[in-house]
Amino acid sequence: MRTILVTGGAGYIGSHTCKALAAAGYRPIVLDNLVYGHRWAVKWGALVEGDVRDAAILDHVFSQYRPEAVLHFAAYAYVGESVGAPGKYYANNVAASVALLEAMRRHGCANLVFSSTCAIFGEPEQALIDERTPTRPVNPYGRSKLMVEQIMQDFGRAYGLRHVSLRYFNAAGADPEQEVGEAHEPETHLIPLVLEVAQGRRAHIDIYGTDYPTPDGTAVRDYVHVADLASAHVQALEYLRGGGVSSAFNLGLGRGYSVQEIVDAARRVTGCTITTRGAPRRAGDPPHLVADPGAAARALDWRPHYGQLDDIVATAWAWHQRITADEGQAGRGSA
């Protein structure tokens, strides 16, 4: 069976991708330090607990499992935290990636799919963002991801590394079969925060900015289902295995939804009251960020399966309800 190393495979998008890899006939091997990942999310292959910055662990993994490619998710991803602790982000996101690339070079592994982000674009002037949009990140998180993209290009020129960067927009939803889902601590993503209000775990949801130049005054983002992101990683891997040239692709639906539309969808899906509260805009938040996913459709034959907002929110709601039920059963069992 073809073995793929998945760094950060115990995290949100990484765990969904491991499921997609297994379904496609691959054997995922997860390397994760479990700082933000979850042991319970590793269900489709072995877990090696360790840090990507540790050369000895990397050598052990490559020697024992001999992966033919790497899917690299391991990174810190809190934008606000990156502003206050830039060194943490450059050490983890950039230095760790260099350590991984050096290990790949030592062990003759030449194919890499990298988890990048739309944060590399910063505050673009155009509403629809394609791969030609200038990259002008405005925070250390975005800069760290862009640095890794540039480093991969250098390794490609020097050592023949073949790579794909997948720049995704707002990951959302959960595995429709409820085997894995979103569980961040702290949680910063809009949809799970809104659903926590629906569950009564939060009193309200703050809407940062109600005076944007958008139809309802709230910021517009492109929400792409996590299962669709997972399939994109598998298709990018097969693109490289088929001889595809090193590239970067934007992943999104190609249409945006406002914060208010997210709240409205959650009300429809859950049938619950969801209280909102207006708050000032956050610095660096553009009014409108939407992907042009045309290049990924052409090169990878990637097209999102989840195109409707209510369907995306419904999978997240089912996951949150399951987690709540599991917590209730655990509480009753320990009483």
Residues acting as catalytic residues: 141
Three-class SS state of 166: strand
CA 213 to chain CA centroid, Å, is 28
What interhelical angle do 259-270 and 190-198 show, nearest 10? 40
Q: How far is 27 from 4, CA to CA, in rounded Å? A: 6
Structure tokens at 12: 């949100």
CA 123 to chain CA centroid, Å, is 19
Task: Label each residue of 280-333 as H, E or C.
Answer: CCCCCCCCEEEECCHHHHHHHCCCCCCCCHHHHHHHHHHHHHHHHHHHHHHHHH
Any idea which residue has 């399939």 for tokens? 231
Nearest to 69 by CA among 17, 139, 21, 5: 5
